[in-house]
Amino acid sequence: MKAVVVGLGLIGGSLALNLMKNKFISGVYGIDLNKEHEKEALKLNLVHEIITFDEIKTCDLIFLCVPVGAIIEIIKQLKDIPKTTTIIEFGSTKESIQNAISDDLKEQFILAHPMAGTEHNGPSAAKIDLFKNAVCVLCNTENTSVFHQHRTIELLSNIGMRITFMNASSHDHHSAIISHLPHVISFSLANYVLDCEDKKNILHLAGGSFADMSRIAKSSPAMWESIFKENKINVLNALDGFINELNEFKQMINNDEYQKLNEWLKNANKLKEIL
């Protein structure tokens, strides 16, 4: 089979690396709007060849590893794709993509979200083990033919992902709380510290806790702007809930309710039973 990866950043580049090692894939091709990314992907041997968008229909597998808005624009351009070609998108939100899929593409279109990543971006950030043991959420698979479902599950499992299923609306809701909200908090913390402290104090006093909390604030602004825009309502709802939690903490401290605070902290420790 021939596979093309559209978008050769961290996710697309890591996927391409894995496809290059897959015995069922005879050719791995790449497309990126950023021509420097295309050159770098070739230099790093992430793909066999760079192709044009017009050649996309010659591939058996099409992976869309670009921001959600770009995925929606690409969907509009997917014409005369053979019914045997599987189209898999790796966007961070799902409802807007689901709504954009034309009826003639639905049976071959897979909504997938690998829960993996780092704060780095671009082809040089690609990692062969990025997807190892990572959960990959497949959404609304009832709209896809059994052939394309089985092909996708087999391939993603072979890469090392653990497959789970969810509808698009639930995915966007849960992602806002568990994935997107932590990025909001990290970006906010980084901005607050940069506003309050000079570089010297940050270097001297930033221990492991600040490094852990602020790591994802180094992530791509363009990517996260797109995610927050596409999942606006769910992110705002998650943020409201989190602000309520912060206000509860503030009230306990303000009122010297330290026994209540201790119980609040113990409750948070229950996360150790899950992760």
171-273 fold? 6-phosphogluconate dehydrogenase C-terminal fold (1.10.3660)
d(CA 62, CA 29): 10
Residue ranges per structural domain of the chain = 2-166, 171-273
CATH class name, domain 2-166: alpha beta
Q: Are 137 and 92 in contact (CB under 8 A)?
A: no
| Of the candidates 8, 9, 5, 24, the residue with the CA atom closest to the CA atom of residue 159 | 24
In single-letter form, the type of residue at position 23 comes to: K
Output the pLDDT for position 150: 97
| Of the candidates 101, 100, 108, the residue with the CA atom closest to the CA atom of residue 81 | 108
**How open is the CA angle 56-62-68, to the nearest 5 degrees?**
105
pLDDT tens for the 275 residues of the chain, in order: 999 999 999 999 999 999 999 988 999 999 999 999 999 999 999 999 999 999 999 999 999 999 999 999 999 999 889 999 999 999 999 999 999 999 999 999 999 999 998 888 899 999 999 999 999 999 999 999 999 999 999 999 999 999 999 999 999 999 999 999 999 999 999 999 999 888 888 877 777 888 889 999 999 898 899 999 999 999 999 999 999 999 999 999 999 999 999 999 999 999 999 98
Strands 162-166 and 109-114: unpaired
Q: Are 60 and 86 in contact (CB under 8 A)?
A: yes
Residue identified by tokens 């909390």 is: 213
Output the pLDDT for position 209: 87
Output the pLDDT for position 210: 86
In the DSSP assignment, the letter for residue 179 is I
pTM for this entry: 0.90
CB count within 10 Å of CB 159 equals 20
State residue 12 phi and psi, 5-degree precision.
Answer: -65, -40
Contacts of 55 (CB under 8 A, 6+ apart): 4, 29
DSSP string, 99-165: HH--TTTGGGEEEEEE----S--SGGG--TTTTTT-EEEEE-GGGS-HHHHHHHHHHHHHHTPEEEE
Cα dihedral 98→102→105→106 (10° resolution): 40
| Of the candidates 96, 57, 108, the residue with the CA atom closest to the CA atom of residue 78 | 57
Strands 135-139 and 109-114: antiparallel
Contacts of 257 (CB under 8 A, 6+ apart): 251
